[in-house]
Amino acid sequence: MKILVTGAAGFIGSTYVRNVLDTSDDAVVVLDKLTYAGRRENLRDVEDRIEFVEGAIEDRDLVLDLTDGVDAVVNFAAESHVDRSIADQDAFARTHVIGTSVLLDAAREHGVGRYLQVSTDEVYGSIERGTFTEESPLNPSSPYSATKAAGDLLVSSHVHTYGIEAVITRGSNNYGPRQYPEKLIPLAVLNALHGDSLPVYGDGRQVRNWLYVEDFARAIDLALRHGVAGEVYNVGGPDETANIDVVRRILALTERDESLIEYVTDRPGHDRRYSLSSAKIRELGWEPSRRFQEGLAQTVDWYRDNEWWWEPIRSGEYREYYERQYGRKLA
């Protein structure tokens, strides 16, 4: 197959591309806008095995050109951080709604055989008890998840109206190498390594269902190749952990004192708990490769060993973001 992978200069997309190249003979074309989160370095080790195009998924002419002759489209392109969506949601609507619509139209026009939309468990909203299945209603609560849900609905409408062969995967919170340090785990790991405070929102008892990034990448590939068109597949990690326990484990792994924990003002509209049933993707043969404890230790080791990757980030746009987001909150 020739696969167009959008947003593959980011955290999960780059892991996915590496997985495809390792496990198949497929040709990969990457389309990525290179936002603050998109980095060519994420694809450095596979650069000569892919075609890279810099551009946006909402650029109709470019997308029509790139989808001509491809067998599959996998759409990772997104603004992925909830806190940024609360501050300014324009880019979220543009990429998740307009961008997805343009990609779907182009896939239909060129008769692309397969389309996979990479989505998130956050479209279901928060759940106090129990577990979401693919039948759970969409109830997104942040501008990030609301615009992702809109993208999912567009995909379903294209399946229903035009019969395109599309599949949606909804993953729980990912962690692992190459995650931009605005997200809880890499932020806490880098702060701990530097001896800086670890900001914990609210009471820190919010629960996330942590999924190792390579496991999500494998699930996406499985759903692309063997999923039933029109279906949604949830992909949840094996462990649910409260944020405060995540932070404590990171402090233990980096041999830092818990006095670095700093409780800060809560995120507006903060979802309390995510929990996802993966029974359906398991029926296709997927299972997670590692528990959170093991994956987290490997992730901490990766950040410790790859200063070349995070040092340019910490001294760039990230500084300003960090000041805006935490400056007033952190002592």
Computed from CA positions of residues 260, 293, 43, 61, in that sequence, does the dihedral angle turn out positive or negative? Answer: negative
DSSP state of 99: I
Binder of residue 82, out of ligand NAD, ligand TYD, none (CB less than 5 to 8 A by kind): ligand TYD
Return the half-sphere exposure (C-beta side, CA atoms, 13 A cut-off) of residue 29: 19
Binder of residue 99, out of ligand NAD, ligand TYD, none (CB less than 5 to 8 A by kind): ligand NAD
Footprint on this chain of ligand NAD (rule: CB under 6 A):
6-7, 9-13, 31-35, 37-38, 56-58, 76-80, 95, 99, 118, 120, 148, 171, 173-174, 180
CB of 252 to ligand TYD, least distance (A): 17
CB of 240 to ligand TYD, least distance (A): 12
Task: Check if 54 is active-site.
Answer: no
Task: Check if 122 is active-site.
Answer: yes
Task: Check if 321 is active-site.
Answer: no
CB of 294 to ligand NAD, least distance (A): 18
Binder of residue 58, out of ligand NAD, ligand TYD, none (CB less than 5 to 8 A by kind): ligand NAD
Which residues are CB-contacts of 198 (< 8 A; sequence separation ≥ 6)?
A: 187, 188, 191, 192, 247, 250, 251, 260, 261, 262
Footprint on this chain of ligand TYD (rule: CB under 6 A):
82, 173, 183-184, 187, 199-201, 206, 208, 243, 267
207 within 8 A of 240, measured Cβ to Cβ: yes
166 within 8 A of 119, measured Cβ to Cβ: no
188 within 8 A of 326, measured Cβ to Cβ: no
Shorter beta-carbon distance to ligand NAD: residue 235 or 260: 235
Q: Could you say which of 79, 122, 152, 221 is catalytic?
A: 122
Distance CA 239, CA 293 (A): 9
The H-or-E segment that residue 64 falls in is: helix 60-67
Q: Among 121, 184, 193, which residue's Cα sits nearest to residue 152? A: 121
CB of 196 to ligand NAD, least distance (A): 22
Q: Could you say which of 16, 115, 124, 144 is catalytic?
A: 144
Binder of residue 95, out of ligand TYD, ligand NAD, none (CB less than 5 to 8 A by kind): ligand NAD
So which residues are the catalytic ones? 121-122, 144
